[in-house]
Amino acid sequence: MQTPTPLEELLDLAADVLCRDRRTLPAGASGSPFLTLGGGLGQALRLQARADEQLGLLLDVAQLLGPAPLTDVLARAVVPAPAAVRPAPAPGRGARDLALLPGQSAPLTAQRYVGPGAVHRVLSAELAGPLDPAALRAALAGLGARHEGLRTAFPVSAAGTVRRVLDAYAPPLITLPELPGAPAASRGAAVDAAHARLADEVERLIGHPDRPPFAFVLTRLAADRHLLSFLCHDAVADAWSAALVWRELLADYARAASGQPPAARSAAPARTEPPAGAEPLLDAGPLAERIDRIREFPAVVDLVPPGRRPAVFDFRGERLAVALDTELRDAVDATAARAGVPHGTVLLAAWALAVGRRSGHEWLLVGAELPRLRTGAPLRTVAPGSTTVPVCCELEGGVDYFLRGVACAFGEALACSALDTEALVRELGLRGDRSRTPLTQVSFADHDGLLPARAAAGPLTARFHHGHLGGATADAALTVLRWREEPLLALDFASSVLDRAQAEQLAQELRGALAALASAGEADPVEDLLPHTLTACVTPLTAAPLSAAASA
């Protein structure tokens, strides 16, 4: 039997990730990029991780989401340079003080000025069925043993805040008293009340400087119904690694509850830092071109008229749930398939269209949450592995042309993902403005596929709930929480910029933009999709492009 080539094996993995027929994908992959074959960021990360784990090959996510045919990108896979082996700490050493990882400094610094709500996150599982506390503690212990990020504290030393990795640390399980009226409350009301209590008590629960800033918090809601919440600082985990924590925890709980040991896992440590040479230089060709491109776009996108913005952005905010019906979801899926882009691109494009109409811009920057590293680490490591990068959105052309342009712009944005926002702002020469977040005042994140709506854990069933602790990192941030099952988006908004009624209006405009894109023909001009009356309540801005702002 003939041994398959690495390219054939990579194409098989790509077919699995894209849910395509292995026999027919090679023909399409020879002439079409990953994006037009239905791949998005989540699929690119999964393909990258599987290629690394199963074949020992490294794929570049930026190339996967670029315009080159998929076969060409897969043919460029390389054997990664061996990671430096860090010696294990001597028994009894207790802890190691290390430099902060990329993405940890900003939230640790911000906490001193903006409070805990903006730098902590909570992701909960509503557990139905008989809970085995011993099995839960055994699963938590396995998590702590595997993941260095769950054994890391952030004390302040003479040299500043350091990353202190402990030899051992059992993830704490904190049991809170049952909320008054919880058994009789509706599911949503009980979960919201539990999350509100966590928002009030976050500093007491995980604010000790010498301990890792996270905990699992258990709240009884009713007989055989509990809410288990993963409460953590942004320096510990982002959305990708929080989902990883839940996937491993539920799998290990199921094994422990049936009397089995935790599943065997690779002895090779997951990479938490980029390999040598992975950080692109500012004068590198693609990155320099990308920065020049960003300079052509407005520095400011305002959702409110001049004079309505507070003098200082306070990072406080609220969340608005945006549920979509299945009919609109299916129409969006059909439009995405016709244009050859993932459904997340249609959602990003609709968000850019709604914001552009409201702010009066035909060209605008929308910040997208993207993986910072290109090693597959976001899917295997508990660490803040993502950053927000501007996507250059042009609201012009026919609908399918517009959607493909947004897809390409999203892929190109990965060229800047190794840079902190602060570094990109410095490179662009932008002046400080305390009234708004720099570079991108609106943002987008696609978390669909990180976790299902429900999962099984032995005799338990888990239903996931994405909590909000009262923070805001942008004027308005749209997150795709679920798509295929019970489609749900979240609109986080800065309460000092928008009130709830304005946020609800913006959410309605987003629905209108989605419906307009989903019902339009492939060549219908984007300029004609939405009535410009949406901007009637907002004075359009004539913000200078970044190049002019930099020289002001």
pLDDT in tens, the chain (552 residues): 567 889 999 999 999 998 889 889 999 899 888 888 888 888 888 898 889 889 989 888 878 887 889 999 999 988 875 554 455 555 455 678 899 988 899 899 888 888 777 899 999 999 999 999 999 999 999 999 999 999 999 998 887 899 999 999 999 999 999 888 777 678 789 999 999 999 999 999 999 888 999 999 999 999 899 999 999 999 999 999 999 999 999 999 999 999 988 766 543 444 444 433 334 333 456 678 888 899 999 989 999 887 788 899 999 999 999 999 999 999 999 999 999 888 999 999 999 999 999 999 999 999 999 887 554 455 678 999 888 999 999 999 999 999 999 998 998 888 777 777 778 888 888 877 889 998 999 999 999 888 889 999 999 999 999 999 999 999 999 999 999 888 999 999 999 999 999 999 999 999 999 999 999 999 999 999 976 544 433 333 333 444 333 323
* Buried/exposed code over 51-82 (b: 16+ C-beta within 10 A; e: otherwise): bbeeeebbbbbbbbbbeebbbebbeebeeeee
Among candidates 125, 129, 116, which has minimal Cα distance to 229?
125
**How high is the pLDDT of residue 538?**
38
Residue 346 exposed, middle or buried by CB count within 10 Å (0-12, 13-18, 19+): buried
pLDDT of residue 411: 84
- Give the 3-state secondary structure of residue 494: strand
What was the pLDDT predicted at 281?
35
* Residue 136: other Cβ atoms inside 10 A: 23
Q: Which residue has the tokens 């908004």?
A: 493
In this structure, what are the phi and psi dihedrals at residue 27, rounded to the nearest 5 degrees? -65, -45
Q: What pTM does this model have?
A: 0.88
What are the percentages of helix, strand and coil residues in the chain, rounded to 5? 40, 20, 40
CA–CA separation, 33 and 340 (whole Å): 10
Structure-token match 């784990």, residue found = 53
Q: What is the pLDDT of residue 285?
A: 61
Contact 181, 200 (CB under 8 A): no
**SS3 assignment, position 136:** helix
Within 8 A by CB and 6+ apart from 324, the residues are 487, 488, 489, 511, 514
Q: What b/e string do you get for 460-485 counting C-beta neighbours within 10 Å, with b at 16 or more?
A: bebbbbbbbbbbbbbbbbbbbbbbee
Radius of gyration of the chain (CA): 23
Helix (H, G, I), strand (E, B) or coil at 526: helix
Cβ(321)–Cβ(503) below 8 Å: no
Give 164's strand partners. Answer: 97, 153
Residue 163 and residue 104: Cα distance in Å, rounded? Answer: 9
Helices 239-257 & 133-146 angle (0-180, nearest 10): 130
